[in-house]
Structure 1
Amino acid sequence: MIRKKSRREESLDHAELARLLPAPGDPHLSLDRHLLLEEHLMSEIQPTAPAPAPSRRPARRVVLIGVPVTAAALAGAFAFTALTGSGGSGPAAATPPPVEAPVVRIEPGSTAQLASTVERIAAAASASKTPEPGPGQYIYIKSMVSYLSVLHTHTDKSKTLVQPLHMREVWSSPDGKQGWLDEPGYQPKGGITVDSDVESSLNAPSYDYLKTLPTDPDALLKKIYKETEGQGNSPDQQAFATVGDLLGEQLAPAKLNAALYRAAAKIPGVVVVDHAKDAAGREGIALAHVDQKSGGRTEWIFDRKTYAYLGSRGVQVKQADDVKPGTVLECTAVLERAVVDAQKQRPGAQGTDA
């Protein structure tokens, strides 16, 4: 008797396997969401070198003193849970649980007062006394921040979660080679080093590099468009995001700051929003730009009287990926900028470590 092999014992060719298995899924995540989630992922994992929210941003754009974040494929993940950093100078504290993102009323932007508003902002920047770091000194930036944590929860895709508002301090040498980041709850206790050997550029700016940039707005904007070509969702959005990255955790010469604002005013789509609040609850006037692909609006917020830069906010203005309009995906407030004599020193505490 010849025993026939059962079907389980026979080898299956590719065609038969294809018939037996379900069709593969084709999850899709838009480029802006890839970038947004990637930037947040990079901000939560201990960096080996400084990296820019958080270009991005959101919206952002998470900035760790200025090394570019590369876009990686986080395909098919509509639910994303934040990762915490590890390593560094000590054990990481428990990461605070995320909270539901606030929702604000969307105020329409306008170009009616754009030129006059930008001139006031630029004039204030030109008149400001910006400290210049010397050899061996460090640029110190203290901020209050909240960034995207979970785009959708597993149980309710209509909910977007963000980090609770928390403090963040960065120190960077003028050449951008040495740095330190202290972000309690999101980095190991005491902070982590963010040294870098990356050559300075618009995507990885150091103070020394910023001093080499043109202060003519047209020449500056031309350089920004040229050096960021092919990045982001559109040339205009990337140009706006690049300028924004230089306003947060960075120190720029006064004349360059003024040129950056005047250059930004020339980007198509930039508007003035009369009322916006930073992470510290300070209300001001904003320069804003909408990413047409993601539906997110990035806002740079300025004091209504002094026109000093206060912080930034990323607000969803169009429905996208179940994120409701008005959802605040990120928010920052710059509380202090200074030059200190050593890494981990804070202003007013010269000669002692933080």
Structure 2
Amino acid sequence: MDDLQLLREMRNDIGTAPQATLARGRNKVMDRISPASSSKATATHATATARPIRFKRRVLLASAAAALLVGGMVVADVVKPTGPGATAQAAEVLNNAAAATIQTADPVVNPGQYLKIQSTNLWASAAVDENQKEYQWLDTEKQTMYIPADRNQEWVWERSGRIPTTFFDDVSKEYVERTQAAGPEAYVLRGANGAFYGPGSESTFPSLSYLDSLSREPRALLDDIYQKTSGKGQSVDGEALVFIADLLRTGVVPGDLRATLYKAAALIPGVTVTDEQATLDGRKGIAIGRVEDFSHFRQDLIIDPQNGLPIGERQVLTEPRGTMPAGTATAWTTVETTVSNTAP
């Protein structure tokens, strides 16, 4: 599996939880931040969790009782835009962020220390019971990744488990309270070089050599992104912005590459300022985004204008979906990177 595929799998589309969390008739669900999962029905329930607005994967949700598929428009060839890029306002914000982030010192991880990446993540979840009744809600999970200075040493990944936090109707809330009464169970994974699932598994974080290989010239980088994402996603430009969001959300992108990614985003047609006072997990910044008309969602990047650091990213519905109203953020991640002397 190459670095690009690992990066794409950073989108944790499918829920994860230890066996104890879903002990009432459910199989243990574990993924590697990717949407590889399995869900089995019990005698009375069939459940599945997913991020239904990640249309590039096209599977909305699936269970032993039902599978709901979303058809996606797949772009077969690379088509480089020839028209104007982002709006003037968005381009100004992105270029200012690039100038600020290049002045912000990257964390220095000395021998014996760890790069500590803290994130809060929200995902849309769903379930279908034996009567084909669908339930929808939003889950939140806290995660902390400890990456040692020597990446070949042991990494540590703390996860809180997914906690149902937002409901759109009483019926779904009652369903979750009934089927997940035990609540989530926090757990810790360990693995040398991020191989949390034993020998042969791979880190889902981009390698240093991969980051070094990416161009620091905006146009060249964007052209490379178009090549890497060819044939994927809803549109050429939309998938390019998703790629940039995926990379930034890892928390390991160095300042010079962050700056280039911002400048590359400024070249993508359809990118606009979507919210000048965006709040994500209590942190405020400017949201830069792009709407996918076919699937009716908007991809946003949220940037701190003071230092140019990425606060996070989100996907927002532009029309109602099930019980979720338009304007619902069906998926978001915040990220903060520091240095720690110890790991759990």
Return the TM-score normalized by structure 2.
0.63
Q: 2:155 aligns to what?
A: 179
Matches within 5 A, 1:183-222: 183-186=159-162, 189-193=186-190, 195-196=194-195, 205-222=206-223
Secondary structure of the 1:145 match is strand
Structure 1 counterpart of 2:94, from 118, 141, 144: 118
Worse-matched range after superposition: 284-293 or 181-190: 181-190
User: What amino acid does structure 1 have at the position aligned with 2:30?
Assistant: Q
Q: 1:338 aligns to what?
A: 338
Alpha-carbon distance in 2 for matches of 1:300, 1:317:
16
The answer (yes or no) to whether the contact 1:278–1:332 under 8 Å persists in 2 is no
1:303 deviation in Å?
A: 2.5
The answer (yes or no) to whether the contact 2:120–2:334 under 8 Å persists in 1 is yes
Q: 1:168 aligns to what?
A: 143
Alpha-carbon distance in 1 for matches of 2:334, 2:60:
30
Cα deviation digits, residues 262-316 of structure 1 (max 9, x gap) = 1112122211123353432223211111223321112111234444322222210
1:114 deviation in Å?
A: 1.5
Structure with the largest fraction of strand: 2
Q: 1:41 aligns to what?
A: 14
Q: 2:107 aligns to what?
A: 131
Matches within 5 A, 1:237-248: 237-248=238-249
Matches within 5 A, 1:308-323: 308-320=309-321, 323=324
Secondary structure of the 1:46 match is coil
In our comparison, the structure showing a higher alpha carbon Rg is 1
Structure 1 counterpart of 2:121, from 145, 152, 167: 145
Secondary structure of the 2:282 match is coil
Q: 2:45 aligns to what?
A: none
Worse-matched range after superposition: 231-240 or 313-322: 313-322
User: What amino acid does structure 2 have at the position aligned with 1:193?
Assistant: R
Cα deviation digits, residues 199-250 of structure 1 (max 9, x gap) = 78xx862233212211001111111111121122222222111110111132
The answer (yes or no) to whether the contact 1:275–1:283 under 8 Å persists in 2 is no
Q: 1:253 aligns to what?
A: 254
The answer (yes or no) to whether the contact 1:170–1:249 under 8 Å persists in 2 is no
Task: Say if 1:251 and 1:215 are closer, same or farther in 2 by CA, change over 3 A.
Answer: same
Worse-matched range after superposition: 217-226 or 298-307: 298-307
Worse-matched range after superposition: 295-304 or 273-282: 273-282
Task: Say if 1:120 and 1:273 are closer, same or farther in 2 by CA, change over 3 A.
Answer: same
Give aligned-pair identity as a percent: 31
Gap runs ≥5 in structure 2: 1-7, 18-28, 37-49, 70-85, 163-183
Q: 2:286 aligns to what?
A: 285
Matches within 5 A, 1:28-67: 39-41=12-14, 43-44=16-17, 45-47=29-31, 49=32, 51=34
User: What amino acid does structure 1 have at the position aligned with 2:248?
Assistant: L
The answer (yes or no) to whether the contact 2:95–2:266 under 8 Å persists in 1 is no
User: What amino acid does structure 1 have at the position aligned with 2:338?
Assistant: A
Task: Say if 1:283 and 1:113 are closer, same or farther in 2 by CA, change over 3 A.
Answer: same
Secondary structure of the 1:160 match is strand
Task: Say if 1:327 and 1:73 are closer, same or farther in 2 by CA, change over 3 A.
Answer: closer
Task: Say if 1:254 and 1:39 are closer, same or farther in 2 by CA, change over 3 A.
Answer: closer
Alpha-carbon distance in 2 for matches of 1:327, 1:242:
22
Alpha-carbon distance in 2 for matches of 1:231, 1:265:
21
User: What amino acid does structure 2 have at the position aligned with 1:269?
Assistant: G
Alpha-carbon distance in 1 for matches of 2:150, 2:235:
30
User: Alignment RMSD, CA only?
Assistant: 3.9
Alpha-carbon distance in 1 for matches of 2:220, 2:67:
40
Gap runs ≥5 in structure 1: 1-34, 62-68, 80-109, 340-346
User: What amino acid does structure 1 have at the position aligned with 2:118?
Assistant: K
Alpha-carbon distance in 2 for matches of 1:122, 1:273:
18
The answer (yes or no) to whether the contact 1:171–1:181 under 8 Å persists in 2 is yes
The answer (yes or no) to whether the contact 1:59–1:297 under 8 Å persists in 2 is no
Q: 1:77 aligns to what?
A: 67
Task: Say if 1:215 and 1:135 are closer, same or farther in 2 by CA, change over 3 A.
Answer: farther
Q: 2:268 aligns to what?
A: 267
Q: 1:64 aligns to what?
A: none
